[in-house]
């Protein structure tokens, strides 16, 4: 029987992944943790532990006392927010990952850890970005994810740790807000469209970025973790594609539902980050090794977001 610890459980991905894991493994087998103690109220049916993920000793204590067999390590600072305090972002993203990898080595845990398209950057082909291109990341978040991928591969090769990872594109969802990413416009726009019928976008109209709807993102994590170990040949992180679009294309889709919707553009520092990232992702390796297939296109995402946003 699996017993699963989730770090950063109150974040955009955490809330939905935790619910999916409760459905798959049962509430008694899922332990949510987050630095924000108040987020306990989001997890009524399961045990919640306040946890600063950089406290590596505490991670090991929880693993031992709760008989944890898997960790979904989601706690991280994202691309845009990370630029406010690069050293703290590095400290949090790396120290927490190394603590989880050490616990995995010592207690024989299986680990899921999300990487990101932020690992790509200068020298990376932006269109149909392959699995292992040259890449010089433009943000400290991207540097931490790129280094993190190498650490994951190292622990897998050297200590046989069963670590699995995907490089998420921008995630779109309605259950919990995103926390300081460059792709956040693709969530904010839905809320503002519903509330005010207008949105001022911080990226230019023609900025094409890879995105993914949350049900696909959750399924990617669970399918990857459920795949037989013999099929998982990539221990850095897998490219996974969902859908690629620009703010202008999303606006046209939104106008099909809200004809009066208006968008304006005031690009800020996030434009430069977005311009360093891929416009589309080649996920052939994930397709071949564990049969990854996304299900949501832009039309379905738009319809479902508008239906579900309160
Ligand atoms: C961000 O924009 O920082 C994240 C990501 C692509 O990893 N959504």
Q: How many residues are there in the chain?
A: 310
- Tell me how far the alpha carbon of residue 66 lies from the centroid of ligand 1, in angstroms: 31
- Tell me how far the alpha carbon of residue 61 lies from the centroid of ligand 1, in angstroms: 31
* Residue in 170, 210, 217, 278 to alter for ligand 1 test, most ligand atoms within 8 A of Cβ: 170
Report which ligand 1 atom has the smallest distance to the Cα of 78.
3
Smallest CA separation from ligand 1 atom 4, residue: 181
Handedness of CA 281, 305, 225, 63 (dihedral sign): positive
Domain ranges of the chain: 4-169+213-239, 171-211+242-308
Residue 129 near residue 91, CB atoms below 8 Å? no
Confidence (pLDDT) at 132: 98
Report which ligand 1 atom has the smallest distance to the Cα of 182.
2
- Tell me how far the alpha carbon of residue 162 lies from the centroid of ligand 1, in angstroms: 25
Confidence category of residue 310, pLDDT binned at 50, 70, 90:
confident
- Tell me how far the alpha carbon of residue 160 lies from the centroid of ligand 1, in angstroms: 29
Which residues are part of the catalytic machinery? 141
4-169+213-239 CATH fold: Rossmann fold (3.40.50)
Q: What percent of the chain has pLDDT over 70?
A: 100
pLDDT at 78 over 90: yes
Report which ligand 1 atom has the smallest distance to the Cα of 169.
6
SS (H, E, C) the chain: CCCEEEECCCCHHHHHHHHHHHHHHCHHHEEEEECCHHHHHHCCCCEEEECCCCCHHHHHHHHHHHCCCEEEECCCCCHHHHCCCHHHHHHHHHHHHHHHHHHHHHHCCEEECCEEHHHCEECCCCCCECCCCCCEECCHHHHHHHHHHHHHHHHHHHHCCEEECEEECEEECCCCCCCCCCCCHHHHHHHHHHHHCEEEECCCCCCCEEEEEHHHHHHHHHHHHHCCHHHCCCCCCEECCCEEECHHHHHHHHHCCCCCCEEEECCCCHHHHHHCCCCCECCHHHHHHHCCCCCCCHHHHHHHHHHHCC
pLDDT at 122 over 90: yes
Write the pLDDT tens digit of every residue in 17-46: 999 999 999 999 999 999 999 999 999 999
pLDDT at 179 over 90: no
Smallest CA separation from ligand 1 atom 7, residue: 116
171-211+242-308 CATH fold: UDP-galactose 4-epimerase; domain 1 (3.90.25)
Smallest CA separation from ligand 1 atom 8, residue: 170
* Residue in 182, 185, 212 to alter for ligand 1 test, most ligand atoms within 8 A of Cβ: 182
pLDDT at 68 over 90: yes
Write the pLDDT tens digit of every residue in 299-309: 999 999 999 99
- Tell me how far the alpha carbon of residue 182 lies from the centroid of ligand 1, in angstroms: 6
Mean pLDDT across the chain: 98
Ligand 1 cavity residues, CB under 6 Å: 78-79, 116-118, 141, 168-171, 181-183
pTM flag (> 0.85): yes
Q: How many CB atoms lie within 10 A of CB 64?
A: 12
Q: What percent of the chain has pLDDT over 90?
A: 99
Write the pLDDT tens digit of every residue in 213-230: 999 999 999 999 999 999
CB within 8 A of 182, min separation 6: which ones? 78, 79, 80, 118, 170, 203, 209, 270, 273, 274, 277
Report which ligand 1 atom has the smallest distance to the Cα of 178.
8
- Tell me how far the alpha carbon of residue 73 lies from the centroid of ligand 1, in angstroms: 16
* Residue in 12, 113, 118 to alter for ligand 1 test, most ligand atoms within 8 A of Cβ: 118
Write the pLDDT tens digit of every residue in 245-273: 999 999 999 999 999 999 999 999 999 99
Report which ligand 1 atom has the smallest distance to the Cα of 82.
3
């Amino acid at each position: 029987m699996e017993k699963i610890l989730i770090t950063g459980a109150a974040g955009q991905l955490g809330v939905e992944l935790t619910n999916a894991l409760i459905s798959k493994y049962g509430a008694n087998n899922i332990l949510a943790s987050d630095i924000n103690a108040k987020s306990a109220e989001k997890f009524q049916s399961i045990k919640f532990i306040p946890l600063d993920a950089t406290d590596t000793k505490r991670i090991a204590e929880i693993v031992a006392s709760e008989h944890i067999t898997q960790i979904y390590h989601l706690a991280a600072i994202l691309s845009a927010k990370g630029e406010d305090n690069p050293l703290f972002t590095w400290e949090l993203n790396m120290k927490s990952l190394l603590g989880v990898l050490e616990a995995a080595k010592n207690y024989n845990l299986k680990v899921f850890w999300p990487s990101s398209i932020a690992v790509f950057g200068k020298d990376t082909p932006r269109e149909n970005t392959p699995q292992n291109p040259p890449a010089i990341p433009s943000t400290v978040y991207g540097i931490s994810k790129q280094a993190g991928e190498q650490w994951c591969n190292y622990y897998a090769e050297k200590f046989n740790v069963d670590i699995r990872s995907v490089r998420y594109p921008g995630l779109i969802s309605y259950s919990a807000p995103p926390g300081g990413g460059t792709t956040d416009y693709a969530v904010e726009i839905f809320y503002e469209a519903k509330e005010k019928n207008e949105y001022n976008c911080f990226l230019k109209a023609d900025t094409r970025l890879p995105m993914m709807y949350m049900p696909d993102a959750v399924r990617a994590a669970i399918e990857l973790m459920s795949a037989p170990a013999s099929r998982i040949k990539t221990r850095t992180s897998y490219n996974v594609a969902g859908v690629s679009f620009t703010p202008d294309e999303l606006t046209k889709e939104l106008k099909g539902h809200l004809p009066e919707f208006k968008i304006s553009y005031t690009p800020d520092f996030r434009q430069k980050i977005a311009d360093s990232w891929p416009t589309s992702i080649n996920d052939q390796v994930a397709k071949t090794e564990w049969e990854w297939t996304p299900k949501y296109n832009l039309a379905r995402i738009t319809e479902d977001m508008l239906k579900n946003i309160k």
